[in-house]
Structure formats: C-alpha cells, structure tokens
A and B are shown apart, each in its own frame.
Chain A
Amino acid sequence: MKHFCRLSRGCPIIRKLLLSAFALALTLVFLNTHVNAAERTKVIFWHEMTGPAQEQLNKFVANYNQSQNKYTIVPQFEGNYNEVVQKFLNTHGTDASPALFQSMDISTNQISSSNYTTPVQKFIDENNYDVSKISAVARAFYSKNGSQLSMPFNTSQPVLYYNASLLKKYKITPPPINPSYSDITRVAQQLYQRSGKKVKGLSIEIYGWFFEQFLANSGVALANNADGHEGTPTSVSFDNPAAVAAMRWIQTNIKSDAFMNYGSGSNASANEMAGFLAGKLGMFLQSSSSISQLTAGTKDKIGVTYYPHPDNKKANGVSIGGASLWISNDKSAQVQRGAWNFIKYLMTPKNQAAWQVSTGYLALNQDSQKEAVLQKLYHRYPSSKVSSDQLRKTMPNTTNSGIFMQGLIQERTFIQTAMEQIYNGGDIQKALTEAQQSMNTAVKSANKANKAKN
C-alpha cells in the first residue's frame, strides 16, 4: 500500500496520464455498448473465408448493416474449416458462441447430430421462402429427410482445367466438354510426347474429395445405407470396381510418365497451380473456385471441362464442395431471425452473381444467371460458364449428394494414404482394402461412442 502511494505522489504526471487513460477507456466502453445495445440486435457471424472471398463477404455485411436498422451482423474470421467445427461444439451455450456460422461440407452430419442448431427449414416454412430457386444439388447436400439443415453458401464443384494455348501450340485437339477417362489420357500422352517431355500432361491432387467424386460420378455409393441418406452408415466401400477403375486410370498415366504427382495438402494444390501457371503442366482437376486465381495468373487461354467419367458409362454428375451457413439454437428467437434474414440477403440473385464474379464460387440462385455482372464474366472468360453449366445440369440422387456420415475427415486421411501408396506404384486393390478396413474399424467405434450418448 505504502509503496503505491509514494510512487503516485512522486510522479504526478504518470498519475494524471494513468487517470486520463482510464477515463478514456471507460468512456469508450460505455459509448460502444450504449450505441450498439440501444436499437440493433447483434448477430455474431463466424466464417472461414480468406483473401478475395473475405473481402467480398465483408462488403456484403457492410451493405446489409446499412440497408436496415434492426440487426447488426458482426463477422468474425475463425481460422480454418477443421478448427471451427471443434470450436463451435466446445463453445455452445456460452457467450462466446456464434449465432450464425459457416461450416464445411463434410462436417454436416456432425454439426446436425450435435442438436446445437436450428434447421433453416424452420425459417423457410415460416417465411414461405421460395427455395426452389436455389441449386437443387447444393441443397441436397445439406438436407436430411427433405428438411434443409443449413443453407449452402460458398459452393464449388470439381472440374478439369486445361491450358488451351499449350494444346493449340502442339496441335492437340482439346478434350470434349464431358470427357471420359481415356479422352483425358489421350490428351495427356500427346502433350507430354509432343512437348519433348517438357510439359507434364495431367495432375490429380491426392485429395479424398476427388476420390469421393470418382465414385459419385460413377453412381456408386461410398458408404452403405445409400451414402447415409437412408440411415447411419455402418460400413464403407473403397475397393469397389468404380474406385479401382479410377485408380487404374491414374496409375496408367503415372506409368507413362505423363502424370505429375504434387502430393497432398495445401502445398500440393499451391504447387500444382504454380506448375500450371508456369506452363509445365497441361491439365489438372481442381475446385471450380480456382478459376479466378487462374485467369488472374496467366495470359494463356484456359479451358474447363466437366469432371471426367468412366469409359463406356454415362456421367452421374458430381456432388458439391464448400461450406454452408448454420443457425445456432442457443440464441434468442430474435437473434436467430436476424441470422436468417442475413442468409436470405446473401442468397439474392444479385449478391450470388457478385459472389461468383469476385470469388469463383458458383452462384446458387438460378436468377443470378441473368445478372449483368455474371453475363460480363462469361463474355470475358467463356470457360467460366462451364462450371455453372455443370452445376445446373447435375440431377441430385443419393450417390452425388454427399456422404451423410460422421468421421469423414478421418475417411479422407485413410483414402489419401491409400492414394499415396497407389501414386507411388503400390497395388491398387491392396491399398484400398487396407484403407477400407481402417475406416470400418473407425466407423464401428464412432457408432459405439455416439449411440451411448444418444
């Protein structure tokens, strides 16, 4: 006690400074709470968008907050997709939890079965909101028994990109818009040979998502009970003929040396992109949302095709990827309504069109196609329309509407390990069967752990 008094008496300037800083802090706190609490309802919104998508999202928020005076959306960047799932589950029921949040495609089952959210179907019914305008295949991914659990938001589909200028240079006929495996093999071989082995023909990142899409496009389920759409899956199938065919196709290209293996993880996609932009790679599979990065990074003409399908088989269509918007049920009815109103705002034709133009994610509202900004984009880069067409033409069924089960992150880890073995020349059947066994053990123990609670 004595010590403090002596100090403050000895240095009046410091005392004054401290006091005024304290007073300033108090006023700021008071002003801040006063302004916000008075009229508007705060809606905390967690998202995981970075780069141009984050900029565009913040613009939407600012515009929305200005357009009305009932709600204030407070956007908070929360890191990567994986982390947010655990963060959401661990903060539920506390002041730290969000009212509205974005969560990735493969967390859908986990978030939904936590019973921590209000299905958006409730608000769709209350509002008589015309949901048929929103892409059917995107909606199907985030619904269960006909009820919409969350609203699809940043959505993409995998497509195949090719360097049209390079193909022209070596006089190679580009792949058709809806190519089969052997169409792609043909182009890859030609490009590798005619470039004097300087340009690799094809690359497919080691990514569980692509494996799932090979099955989806073949119309084959990965998990039983119709990919989980008709009940909790109890086993998975990785070593089915469709999967083996896709892996054999990749291995054929690896053996002919026309294939470039960039590995797995975010570095792999960055390296792959760099190789493609540097003209050292002719074709690769990637999310349709990469288009804006590609067009910005090279002067070469870029071509886009649908996801490759098995030979002698019609394409079933691929499912979507990305993330959706969820409303937590631990907030008041008014806050939840605020969250829903903002979702509606994001889904308007105009905003969805702006979203596709600035980020490369697909516009989900059908009416967006008529918007001038989107028309302008198609005119400037005709290839960017291919992804929109693929999405529109995909008819949802149980094998291309995502896999409704828990533990998908682990599923991808196992698949990717198998793919790594296959890419390094391992036996296809053996690698897939081993991964399948590991996943089935995991599914069994997860079902055991979850049933005990429910």
Chain B
Amino acid sequence: MEEPLNRKLKPLSNKSVTLKTQSIEKSSYDVNAHDKFYAWFFLGPSLVILSIFVFYPMMRTLYLSFFLTNSLGHPSVFVGFSNYINLLTSSAYLDSLTATLIYVIAVSILTLVFGLLLAQTASKKIAGINIFRTIFSGTMGVSVSVAAIFWLFIFNPSIGLLDQVASFFHLPTINWLTQPSWAMTAVIISTVWMNLGFTFLIFFGAFQSVPKFFYEAAEIEGLSRSYQFFHITLPMISPTIFFISIITLIESFKSFGLIDLMTAGGPNNATNLLVYRIYQDAFLSGNYGSASTQSVILAIIIALFTLIQFKLLEKKVTY
C-alpha cells in the first residue's frame, strides 16, 4: 500500500527542494537597500515590542536575581549566587517545589484522562447528546473567580455542600481547605474541573477527525470497543494528546488564580506553589531579588520538563 505512494511523492519533493534552493540563491544576490528597508519596516515594530515587553524584562529578571533589593525595590547589594544558594537550601522552598511537582503531575494526568473519557462519551450518537457536549465544554466560559466562589461554597467548612452531604449520610466531615493534607486535593480537583472544558473540546474535535472507515473496518473484523479505542483512536489523535499534555503541564506550573482565591498558599504552605511564592515575595514582601531568582529557576524547570516531554513523547506521536 505505502510503497507506490512514496514513489509517487519522491520526484515531487525533489522538485520543491530544488526550487527552494534556487530562490535562496537568487535572493542573496538581490538584497539591496530597498529590501532591507522593507525587512526592517515589517519586523521593526514587533522587534521593538518584543524587546520592551519580553527581552528587557527577561534580562532585568536575570540581573535582579543577583541582588538584594531595598524597600523601594531598587537593587542595592550585589550578592552573586547567594540568592540561588539560599533558596535551594531552604526547606520551605524545597517543600514548595515538591508541592508544585505533585500538583502539576496530578493535574496533567487527571485532565488528560478525564478529558479523553468525556470526549469519548460525547462522541456517541445518542439523542440529546448535544446538551451534554455543551455542558462538558461549559467550564471554558467560567472565569477563575467564579469557579473559585463555586468551589469555596462546596468546600465551606460549616455550610458547604460536600460536608452537608457527608453529614446526611453520617460520613465524617473533612475540613477541605484548612487541613494541609486535604487542601492540595481540593485545589487539584478544582483545577482539573476548570481545565476540562478546554481539553474536552480539543479532544472532541480530534475524535471527529479520525476517518470513519477505520472503525467500520474494525467492526467488520469484530474488534471490541476498547481495542478500537486503544489501537485506532489513541494513535490517530496522538498529536493532540501531545499538544494537550504540554499545554496543561506548562499551564499548571503557572497556576495562580485558583490558589490565590481558594487557599492563598495555605494551610501551612501546603498549596504554596512556585508561582504563588514569587507573587508573595515580589508584590507583597517587596523582595524583588529573591522573586527574580525564583522566576529564573521556574523558567529553567519548565524548559527542562518541556524538553523531556519532547524527547519522550515525540517518538510515540504519529503524524
């Protein structure tokens, strides 16, 4: 099946390559003032904007990370790497790091699994399925503050929905947001719920793009539904899974809204994730030096994770 297709494609691709090289050679001779002007004219504005809002802050953050800042936020004492050393040897920071890793991994995996489940359910052709599709993607339209209020009501220790249900069935009540061991669970549940709308929608779209004849062939072969899911659907939508896993991972590293509104990093720093710590240090305590150091470390961590994902998952992705 595949061979003739490849053979057919070959001459075509060769041609396009030669075309490309030709044009490159041609253009290198023709670069003149006029072209240069146009290049700067079109690239200039975005370069200016990027330098002001991206490159300069990045460099400034790196610079500040080597300083102590005074009460006005100005760098005042150069301390070299001691901000980094202090952080990486502080047990509070390392606890934060562990909490963040737990949070990120739990949120990413749960979002993926539940997103896939919902999309699979919604792909069935049943009467009234459109209502469920709307409901499943509903959290996309919910803002973080509204979600936080909603979950705070559910987790409320004296009049919360969960505890009322629990006491109705004579189950022990849990102080969701004030017990360090439960607070993280509560925040993870809320975040996954928030993420599901978007994940569902993307997965649902991907499901629709899988050609129907694969399933028809599988039906004729008499293969089970779960076999179809694992051997047709999953491989076919692997680029989407890859995309979602990276997006969710990076987004959960950067989580801020729900944490700020639900626990404010507490209790006992159980939900004090890296980004929240940076916010506290910079904008509440005014320690821009230490906050910058943490930002640099966070950037490195996210880059590392993304790199690992590319290395590990890229092989499994069939385009």
Which chain A residues have a beta carbon within 8 Å of chain B's beta carbons? 82-83, 85-86, 89-90, 110, 113-114, 200, 206, 260-268, 271, 274-275, 278, 280-281, 406-407, 409-410, 413, 416-417, 420-421, 423-424, 438, 445-446, 448-450, 452-453
Contacts and interface: CB of A to CB of B under 8 A. Distances in A.
Given A267-B177, A267-B262, A449-B77, A417 B158 contact: no
A424 B158 contact: no
23 contacts: A82-B283, A113-B71, A206-B266, A262-B178, A263-B263, A263-B266, A264-B266, A265-B263, A265-B266, A267-B261, A271-B156, A274-B156, A275-B158, A413-B280, A420-B180, A420-B267, A420-B269, A424-B267, A438-B92, A446-B71, A449-B70, A452-B76, A453-B72
B158 A407 contact: no
A136 to B, nearest CB: 28
A260 B77 contact: no
Nearest to A265: B264
Q: 6 closest A-B pairs (Cβ-Cβ)?
A: A263-B178, A275-B158, A265-B264, A449-B68, A420-B268, A452-B76
A438 B269 CA distance: 14
B74 interface: yes
A86 B71 contact: no
B267 A413 contact: no
A149 to B, nearest CB: 15
A201 to B, nearest CB: 13
Nearest to B267: A420
Contacts of A446: 71
Interface majority SS on B: helix, strand, loop or mixed? Answer: loop
Contacts of B175: 261, 263
Interface residues of B, number: 35
Nearest to B158: A275
B70 A452 contact: yes
B76 A453 contact: yes
A424 B264 contact: no
A217 to B, nearest CB: 25
A407 B285 contact: yes
Given A264-B264, A274-B159, A445 B68 contact: yes
Contacts of B285: 407, 409-410, 413
Contacts of B156: 271, 274
Interface string B303-316: 00000000000000
A452 B76 CA distance: 6
A448 B77 contact: yes
B80 interface: no
Interface in B138-164: 152, 156-159
A274 B31 CA distance: 72
B179 interface: yes
Contacts of A280: 158-159
Contacts of B262: 267
A267 B289 CA distance: 30
Contacts of A261: 157, 175, 178
A376 to B, nearest CB: 33
A35 B60 CA distance: 43
B15 to A, nearest CB: 36
A238 to B, nearest CB: 16
Contacts of B283: 82-83, 86
